[in-house]
Amino acid sequence: MPRKRRKEGTRAPNRTSSVYFSDKDGYWHGRVTMGVRDDGTPDRRHVKRKDEAECRRKVRELENERDAGKVRKPGRAWTVEKWLTYWVENIASPTVRQTTMVGYRTSVYKHLVPGIGKHRIDQLQPEHLERLYVRMQKDGLKPGTAHLVHRTVRAALNEAVRRRHILENPAKVAKPPRVEEEEIEPFTVDEARRVLSAAADMRNGARFVIALTLGLRRGEALGLKWSDITVTWKHGCPKSDPCRRAHPAEDCGQRQGSGTLTIRRSLQTHTWQHGCSEDKPCEHRYGAHCPHRHGGGIVVSEVKSRAGRRTIGLPQPVIESLEEHRARQEFERKRAREAWEEGGWVFTNRWGSPVHTTVDYDAWKALLRAADVRNARLHDARHTAATMLLVLKVPLRAVMEIMGWSEASMAQRYMHVPHELVTAVADQVGGLMWPESGTDDDEDDDGEAGSLVPA
């Protein structure tokens, strides 16, 4: 049925699009009402094309976006450079940790802005990103660096989608380079015991005891204060022993302790920034050497996540290790006298200040050499602690609480199946399927022993 023509002198219905040809410029023009602007005026978008069919196609696209509720903000689209700069300095900076910001700023200013910054944000394509990743690797950068750039631009463009600067995130479609994940090998029980034994003889050795047994992150361990540790002592001697009347529980030779450790803060080391002006720069390459440096050093910050703020039970050997460490620290405090900076920190340098992360790293490597075990990252101690919980068959919910995980998926990353557990399972399977000769298996009513498959 042919469409009825609208009477002359009557207006088209609201939100109706219009397409017309202009003799002035020789273009086909389309106008589409997308909604209402912030000031209450109609948001009417304009497109123009040389070809009528192309103009009508673009008008239909705008109408479909409007009807689907996916309308880009009015006005000229931002460039990628403008959006990334705004995002990293005004959106990401106040909300993420400074260590994360170091990676964000490097990705934005060193790779993304020079590589794709001139594109309009609504015209950026997945292929633009993929070609950038290829160029980065041709320039000698590792796939991991390109992968970090990909995660950064994906986070930035996700925010652009939420704010309707663009309708879809091209970084979700783009394929980042494949990164070969390094296989993490947690310490065996024998290796862990050798490390714990060597830690008993070194300064701040208790710091690595709790790393291996409780799985604390580096910043969490270095950020501990004595007020975060609660210990309750009980007599371990018989009730009739004179020790109970002569000494308090903590002085009992067979004392038994129970306690908790609460994670409330994290200690981070921030990179020093240059404080000199651009017209009078200092001659030093690194900000740490600048005479006007700022923003660096040891900084106390919040824990990594809400789940990171947690309370952990302390095993008796860990309590004893911490008490021995407390006694050593008290001796150092008396020897330092007025030079001691009292901050209540559990692990300190020789003057009471928090331990720098570089010093902590060097101490870990020295401990591995003293224990005569293979070289490993300090973070591998956290993997070891999680794996030990797996071996002990601790429920996953309790593991998440101890490790400070907010998602159960972290277990797949940190909990590894050790060789001892693999062989133990194999022995159990062998014992089930091939029982030792001479054993009498209970038979069912039909005379069949322990059938795994129902009849």
- State pLDDT tens for residues 64-97: 877 776 766 665 778 999 999 999 999 998 888 8
Dist. CA 42–CA 52, nearest whole Å:
25
Dist. CA 255–CA 276, nearest whole Å:
59
> Looking at the predicted structure, is the pLDDT value of residue 327 above 60?
yes
Residues labelled catalytic: 217, 234, 379, 382, 405, 414
> How confident is the prediction for the chain on average, in pLDDT?
86
Q: What integer pLDDT is reported at residue 75 of this predicted model?
A: 59
What CATH number labels 80-172? 1.10.150.130
Residue 149 CB-density burial (10 A; 0-12 exposed, 13-18 middle, 19+ buried):
buried
Q: What integer pLDDT is reported at residue 301 of this predicted model?
A: 83
Phi-psi region of 448 (alpha: psi -120 to 50; beta: other; left: phi over 0): beta
352-405 tens-digit pLDDT: 999 998 899 999 999 999 999 999 999 999 999 999 898 888 999 999 999 999
**Count of CB atoms situated within 10 Å of the CB of 16:** 12
Radius of gyration of the chain (CA): 33
Whether residue 249 contacts residue 223, with contact meaning beta carbons closer than 8 Å, is answered with no
The residues pairing with 301 across neighbouring beta strands, listed in sequence order, are 266
Distance of CA 97 to the CA centre of its chain: 10
**What is the percentage of the chain residues whose pLDDT exceeds 70?**
90
Q: How far is CA 26 from CA 188, 291, 355, in A?
A: 78, 65, 73
Q: What is the DSSP string of 306-363?
A: GGGS-EEEE-HHHHHHHHHHHHHHHHHHHHHGGG-----BSSB-TTSPBPPHHHHHHH
Backbone angles phi, psi at 268, to 5 degrees: -120, 150
Going by pLDDT thresholds of 50, 70 and 90, the confidence category of residue 175 is very high
Output the CA torsion sign for 156, 161, 167, 173. Answer: positive
Instruction: Tell me the pTM.
Output: 0.71
> Looking at the predicted structure, is the pLDDT value of residue 341 above 80?
yes
Whether residue 450 contacts residue 442, with contact meaning beta carbons closer than 8 Å, is answered with yes
Contacts of 149 (CB under 8 A, 6+ apart): 107, 111, 112, 132, 133, 136
Going by pLDDT thresholds of 50, 70 and 90, the confidence category of residue 271 is confident
Going by pLDDT thresholds of 50, 70 and 90, the confidence category of residue 278 is confident
The bridge status of strand 28-36 relative to strand 18-21 is: antiparallel
More confident residue, 32 or 197: 197
Dist. CA 432–CA 430, nearest whole Å:
5
Q: What integer pLDDT is reported at residue 137 of this predicted model?
A: 94
Q: What integer pLDDT is reported at residue 430 of this predicted model?
A: 82
Fold of 189-276+287-388: hpI Integrase; Chain A (1.10.443)
Tokens of 411: 């277990």
Dist. CA 330–CA 441, nearest whole Å:
63
Output the CA torsion sign for 7, 8, 12, 16. Answer: positive
- Cβ burial 83-92 (10 Å sphere, 16+ → b, else e): bbbbbbeebb
Going by pLDDT thresholds of 50, 70 and 90, the confidence category of residue 283 is confident
Q: What integer pLDDT is reported at residue 38 of this predicted model?
A: 62
Q: What integer pLDDT is reported at residue 203 of this predicted model?
A: 94
Q: What integer pLDDT is reported at residue 321 of this predicted model?
A: 94
Dist. CA 310–CA 262, nearest whole Å:
6
